[in-house]
Amino acid sequence: DPELRIMAIGTRSGAVKIYGAPGVEFTGLHRDAATVTQMHFLPGQGRLLTLLDDSSLHLWEIVHHNGCAHLEEALSFQLPSRPGFDGASLTRITVVLLMAAGNTAALGTEGGSIYFLDVTTLALLERQTLSPDEVLRSVPDDYRCGKALGPVESLQGHLRDPTKILIGFSRGLLVIWNQAAQCVDHVFLGNQQLESLCWGRNSGTIISSHSDGSYAIWPVDTGGSPTLQPSVATIPYGPFPCKAINKILWRNCESGGHFIIFSGGMPRASYGDRHCVSVLRAETLVTLDFTSRIIDFFTVHKFDDPQALAVLLEEELVVLDLQTPGWPSVPAPYLAPLHSSAITCSAHVANVPAKLWARIVSAGEQQSPHWPITGGRNLAQEPSQRGLLLTGHEDGTVRFWDASGVALRPLYKLSTAGLFQTDCEHTDSLGQAAEDDWPPFRKVGCFDPYSDDPRLGVQKVALCKYTAQMVVAGTAGQVLVLELSDVPTEQAVSVASIDLLQDREGFTWKGHERLNPRTGPLPWPAGFQPRVLVQCLPPAAVTAVTLHAEWSLVAFGTSHGFGLFDYQRKSPVCTLHPNDSLAMEGPLSRVKSLKKSLRQSFRRIRKSRVSGKKRVWSGLEMWRMGDDQCQMTPVQRRIEPRSADDSLSGVVRCLYFADTFLRDAAHHGPTMWAGTNSGSVFAYALEVPAAVAGGEKRPERAVEAVLGKEVQLMHRAPVVAIAVLDGRGRPLPEPYEASRDLAQAPDMQGGHAVLIASEEQFKVFTLPKVSAKTKFKLTAHEGCRVRKVALATFASVACEDYAETCLACLTNLGDVHVFSVPGLRPQVQYSCIRKEDISGIASCVFTRHGQGFYLISPSEFERFSLSARNITEPLCSLDISWPRDATRARYVGRQPLAGWVKMRPRSHATGSGLRRKLGEWTGPYRKSRVCFMYSASSS
């Protein structure tokens, strides 16, 4: 919309998304999941007319409630089909034109007829239909006797006379129809199949594009006689056969001259598979070469001068600055292609310190022209804390996104590929040579579905926000420790190898080879720069990683075991293979005296619960819940034990560092915990030299690790998360949080406990005895499995200072559960993701404040909130000149789009702030529908 300076995007799934300035966002969804094929703004009115592939029309409007704007569907319309066998296909709408007056629309159809519609009521105007027979009366007999005119391909309003319409038929015939006089003013006899039309300068010329890769310029004959031939017919990429020019635009410049912009037209044999938009001004021709299919494009004007070119592709949105020499790309503040390389992992970092935030922004800062789409006002308050979303990609990059507000804003990109010798580097020179050929191709956009080497894929990332150190682990067993630097450097990277199998006899690795690192000093730009590369052997994909910057330790696991590495001394500490039956009897046998096998403990615990004490405890628990929540305990299903011979039993699923009590109840110290796919948990007691007073680094003494405990869950369900709770039942703070007074110090006086979450149940064990305290078996449905788990803080809406820590989990059925900690009492359960959406469930990541992200398509994250206090939603307004109140009464049968309504919050309960979807209770779970990138199926 040139007046409101907003743009709309329609998707294949029937979604309508409107964007303006950053933070200005509206989303609507058609009731039927049909593809949006066309959209037309009523300029300045905040109304939008959409056409779906089922030939239905829908009128949307932006309305204001309580100062904020929302998108609602007002009316819908279906063109009635004519009687007959093929009546439905003949009345299928092919093109829509909003007349200059703004209250009438012309509808071109498959059968060649044009209908006129009252936009305010979406009702047909009687006795104004233009049939192809009326048009044929104005053409010569020899042209009339040929084939039929075909569907209406294009409708264009006259730039100077609002009563005239330029009509283009598929056969190639162009006519200017005078709606007031009900007659044809001009006829242009074309014989090439028509693709698109546009007006030239001041309606003095018409530009048409055709299926043979040509465009023609027709002078408008004011005398009224038909023009048999265009004055200029050009095949830009001829003379060999070319593909069709699908759309063409002519844009005049105030300084003189004009732009001709068109898509397609490439030589069919040589470049028929290229997705190109060509920009021609005077003698300058640039062929923009994209990596995905072109959906549509338009120009943004400033005082009738083309300011920018926006190109919507199937996989991204690209905007070019036409005012700057060279026509550079403009980095988008939203709709950035998350999946420029396929997303392989993601992580969220909450409460990022201001200093680190500024350094990351500085490292990724790009000098760019101003974003041209600036409509509306963002009413949302400045976020109280900064949140980072990290995404790892198949090409070895990690991208940092500002997830503090509604839109994901790209901040910085880290690439790890430069450290390694990849397989496809020799193709770079060949690709560069091809760029110099004709046509003058210019690669545009950042969507690149191909990876130089799949071994570069990032599997796990971890970031310490207080020391600006991070770990990036990949598909070929590479573990990189990086540190943020504000200046470019040139340095060598230390390389260390850790054999997780310890040269086990009889084992042969049949997977991919390890990546070969480059040797010698390497240049690194400002940003995160690698310090140490740890290579796991065999080079299997890393399945878990964790970082403790205060101890300078990094732990990592693969399907063959896990290792601990001291990156300050650049030396390994220990390794263990979980499937090794001699793990507790070989070199580590000296630690067996610390604790007997937990299998015997589990048997004793089960026997003790056979007595009547269990029934008394259950009744007491129900009494404590209160009369309003008193209900029968759900029947817990029987969990079948898994086989110990599973080939995936050695996969390390989670790793965790904690300062807690492992040896005895009097002395606490550093520990490392590892959980495997077979339900085993290994706990190591670490001897970490204490840091010098006032210093950040500890002495250069070796770290020692002693295996202290081994827990084997009886049902051998994979362990997905481990967390140690302090004496108050709260999770331990992150490294440096307590020592720098950034968080409340943990309670080291009361007894600690460890929470172990498996795919089938949650258990709390006391420390250091490791005796079972509380457990909960998942009872949702048969076959239910835990997929993601996180400890989240839920703040009360009613009381500013009250908060609870709860356990949030996502199951393979797409349900979200919230449990109290450490009691493990179920609080709420809601449907979040469709159970068929396996990739969405696998990509889900929880935040520390009760929100979450998951991929609803390969290119789009959706944010949801479990918290009534922490909600991220678009709050914006739009200045609309249309007198809505006068017209609203004429709308009949309107039904507003289902939205979310905030209900009165309860007191300090975790599930406070109930919300409901219109007509359907849903509880505190709130699916915000904040989308950061349009779906890959955009239309």
Phi-psi region of 356 (alpha: psi -120 to 50; beta: other; left: phi over 0): alpha
If 0-12 CB within 10 Å is exposed, 13-18 middle and 19+ buried, where does residue 622 land? middle
Report yes or no: 844 and 345 within 8 Å, Cβ to Cβ. Answer: no
Q: What token pair was written down for 53?
A: 């592939």
For tokens 């070199």, the residue is 587
Decide: helix, strand or coil at residue 486. Answer: coil
Do the strands 441-443 and 284-290 form a parallel or antiparallel pair, or are they unpaired? parallel
Total residues belonging to the chain:
939
The neighbouring-strand residues paired with 184 are 177
Burial grade of 205 (CB within 10 A; 0-12, 13-18, 19 or more):
middle
Q: What is the pLDDT of residue 300?
A: 95
Which strand ranges, in their side-by-side order, compose the sheet holding 152-157? 152-157, 164-169, 174-178, 183-188
Q: Which residue in the block uniquely carries the two structure tokens 């819908």?
A: 76
Residue 865 β-bridge partners: 851, 926
Distances from the Cα of 51 to the Cα of 54, 108, 541, 934, angstroms: 8, 12, 47, 18
Is the separation of the CB atoms in 420 and 426 below 8 Å? Answer: no
What is the three-class DSSP state of 354? helix
- At 520, is the secondary structure helix, strand, or coil? coil
Pairing of the two strands 815-820 and 388-393? unpaired
Distance from CA of residue 136 to its chain's centroid? 51
Phi, psi of 603 (to 5 degrees): -65, -40
Return the closest-CA partner of residue 456 out of 494, 420, 483.
420
pTM here is 0.84
**Strands 915-917 and 900-902, bridge-based pairing:** antiparallel
For the chain (939 residues), the mean pLDDT of every run of 10, in chain order, is 95 94 94 94 94 95 90 92 62 92 89 94 91 90 84 93 93 92 90 93 88 93 62 89 96 89 96 95 92 96 89 96 91 92 96 95 80 93 92 96 92 95 56 61 91 93 96 98 96 94 82 93 96 96 96 95 94 80 33 40 44 30 29 45 58 95 91 94 92 65 90 91 94 88 84 94 93 84 84 92 94 94 93 94 96 93 92 90 50 36 30 30 39 36
Q: CB under 8 Å to 4, separation ≥6 — which residues?
A: 20, 41, 43, 44, 46, 375, 376, 878, 879, 880
DSSP of 282-328: TTEEEEEEESS-EEEEEEEEETTEEEEEEEEESS-EEEEESSSTT--
**DSSP assignment string, 829-847:** EEE-S-TT-HHHHHH-EE-
Q: Which residues of 883-919 are buried (b: 16+ CB within 10 A; e: fewer)?
A: eeeebeeeeeeeeebeebeeeebbeebbbbbbbeeee
Rg (CA), the chain: 33
Q: Which among 249, 262, 265 has a CA at the least distance from the CA of 306?
A: 249
**H or E segment at 792?**
strand 786-795
Cβ count near 784 (within 10 Å): 18
* Antiparallel, parallel or unpaired: β 478-485 and 527-537: antiparallel
The label of the residue with tokens 């479990």 reads 866
Sheet holding 826-831, edge to edge: 786-795, 803-811, 815-820, 826-831
**Helix boundaries (H) for 395-447:** 427-435
